[in-house]
Amino acid sequence: MRFLLYLSDFIIPVFIFYIIGFGLLMKKPVFDDFIEGAKEGMRVTASIFPTLVGLMTGVGILRASGFLDWISELLGKALAFLHIPSILWPVILIRPLSTSAATGLVLDIFKESGADSYAGYAASIIMSCTESIFYTMSVYFMIVKITKTRYTLPGALLSTLAGVIASLIIASMM
């Protein structure tokens, strides 16, 4: 175990030195390539910023208006036969939209129910088994200029559903 702790302390610096050393051995302009990559990263950041602001604003409005709580309560009652705690519905609904908003909701669950509760376990596993679909699709498809997403959204929603179901099953076994 101590070996893994030492390894984790040194893996990033070793990786950085490996990249620089390899670039120097191949006689590449390492610093110039780094600067070019940083410029490209800034261009990407500038292009996705409006999408990020829009998603975060939308999720903030849903939370502040109480609509998210209302729809979660409605889903909790309508789908009571699934035995999903109503406190999990906001995470399940928001996770496909925003990771940061879902993280805030998970922290609320930890405060309310505790991290070692069924809801805490399930929320944690949901966060690790699912993806922020709409954010990821909008960013990646916008960057490479894909306009026809074909089966991406249905496939991503289906995999999210599978992740949520698996999360609930795994959390019930803990």
For residue 125, pLDDT over 80 is answered with: yes
In a domain, 161, yes or no: yes
Per-residue pLDDT of 72-123, as tens digits, reads 888 877 877 878 888 888 889 888 888 888 888 899 899 988 888 888 999 9
Mean pLDDT of the chain: 85
Give me the long-range contacts of 140-146 (CB less than 8 A, separation at least 24). 142/47, 142/48, 142/51, 143/44, 143/47, 143/48
Residue 109 lies in a domain: yes
102 class by beta-carbon count within 10 Å (0-12 exposed, 13-18 middle, 19+ buried): buried
Count: domains in the chain:
1
Q: Tens digit of pLDDT for each residue in 63-83?
A: 788 888 888 888 877 877 878
Residue 38 lies in a domain: no
Q: Within 13 Å and on the Cβ side, how many CA atoms surround 99?
A: 10
Residue 69 forms part of a structural domain: yes
Domain that holds residue 105: 48-172
At residue 126, the pLDDT reads 92
The pLDDT of 16-33, averaged and rounded, is: 89
Residue-wise pLDDT tens digits, 153-162: 899 999 999 9
pLDDT of residue 142: 78
Q: Is residue 29 part of a domain?
A: no
Instruction: Give the pLDDT confidence score for residue 74 in this predicted structure.
Output: 85
In a domain, 16, yes or no: no
